[in-house]
């Protein structure tokens, strides 16, 4: 793990991202017409508007906040940082077969997740005369270390069902196959990042090599202690914007 190296400028940039994101959300947010009359009468229109706002914010928290914050945090420790990155979608037919076999074996518990072994199995068949073009999921955060090691993150904020984890696994393995088709010797890591809410499911993901949760994710990007610094940034922005937030929701505090 990197030593803590977050500068004051980075802290300011992170807080600016948070402020701009919230203010943009306020400007473009229109609460749905009241469809919960009992809740509205009991709790008040302003509280229902706040609840609706938080729910709406959660749906794009990853792209509007976590991705740019993660990119800013990683700036000093990595050579290349890209958000919402596209991976060239060429995968060998043989690699497709290996990926499907890995997922089938994990689903039936014939094998346990082992990302290093899985990557090497894909590497052996990453190039062939049967290359197929596929539409791959965008990479939320792609970073490259100074020695050329690649880390591709799929940032998740909502817990999926078991079927969702199977698709997550397929995405991670397809990224591996696509990268290796371009550079068979690449040192590649593809991971799920869970920014705060620690959930997981055993049996599909290699918890050591395929998952980073909360402080593990943020400290990997920014160095030891980055998670706590980040929480302090969120708290300061929240305190600074509280009058704006209160004023915004005050307008919903009207009589029926």
7 found inside a domain: yes
61 or 103, which is more confident: 103
The SS3 assignment for 115 reads helix
88 in the same domain as 195: yes
> 121 and 143: one domain?
yes
Please, which residues have CB within 8 angstroms of residue 63's CB and are 6 or more apart in sequence?
A: 84, 140
**Is 67 within the bounds of a domain?**
no
Instruction: Tell me the residue range of the domain where 17 lies.
Output: 1-61+234-256
pTM equals 0.89
Same domain flag for 89 and 196: yes
Residue with tokens 């009991």: 42
Count how many domains the chain has.
Answer: 2
Alpha-carbon separation of residue 78 from 100, 143, 203 (angstroms):
33, 7, 31
pLDDT more than 90, % of the chain? 63
The pLDDT score that the predictor gives to residue 60 is 80
State yes or no: pLDDT of 244 exceeds 50: yes
Residue 167 is assigned to a structural domain of this protein: yes
Does the pLDDT value for residue 163 go beyond 80?
no
Same domain, 218 and 238: no
Average of per-residue pLDDT across 57-72: 88
Same domain, 89 and 215: yes
One domain for residues 170 and 194: yes
Look at residues 22, 59, 62 and name the one whose alpha carbon lies nearest to residue 242.
22
Residue 69 forms part of a structural domain:
no
Q: What is the model's pLDDT at position 33? A: 56
Q: Are 140 and 153 in contact (CB under 8 A)?
A: yes
Q: Is the pLDDT of residue 256 over 60?
A: no
Q: Report d(CA 55, CA 41) in Å as an integer.
A: 20
CATH number of residue 137's parent domain? 3.40.1560
Pair 48, 158 in one domain: no
């Amino acid at each position: 793990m990197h030593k803590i190296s977050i500068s004051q400028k980075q802290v300011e940039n992170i807080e600016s991202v948070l402020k701009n994101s919230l203010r943009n959300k306020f400007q473009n947010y229109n609460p749905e017409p009241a469809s919960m009359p009992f809740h509205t009468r009991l709790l008040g229109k302003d509280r229902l508007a706040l609840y609706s706002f938080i729910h709406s914010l959660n749906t794009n928290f990853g792209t509007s906040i976590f991705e740019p914050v993660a990119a800013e945090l990683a700036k000093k420790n990595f050579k290349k940082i890209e958000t919402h990155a596209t991976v060239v979608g060429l995968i060998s037919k043989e690699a497709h077969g290996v990926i499907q076999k890995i997922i089938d074996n994990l689903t039936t518990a014939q094998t346990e997740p082992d990302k290093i072994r899985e990557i090497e199995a894909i590497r052996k068949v990453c190039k062939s005369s049967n290359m197929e073009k596929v539409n791959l999921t965008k990479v939320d955060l792609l970073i490259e270390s100074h020695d050329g090691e690649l880390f591709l993150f799929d940032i998740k904020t909502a817990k999926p069902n078991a079927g969702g984890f199977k698709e997550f696994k397929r995405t991670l393995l397809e990224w591996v196959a696509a990268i290796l088709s371009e550079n068979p010797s690449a040192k590649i890591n593809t991971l799920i990042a869970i920014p705060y809410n620690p959930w997981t499911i055993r049996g599909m993901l290699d918890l050591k090599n395929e998952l980073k949760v909360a402080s593990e994710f943020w400290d990997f990007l920014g160095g030891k202690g980055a998670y706590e610094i980040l929480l302090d940034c969120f708290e300061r922005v929240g305190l600074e914007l509280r009058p704006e937030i209160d004023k915004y929701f005050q307008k919903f505090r009207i009589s029926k």
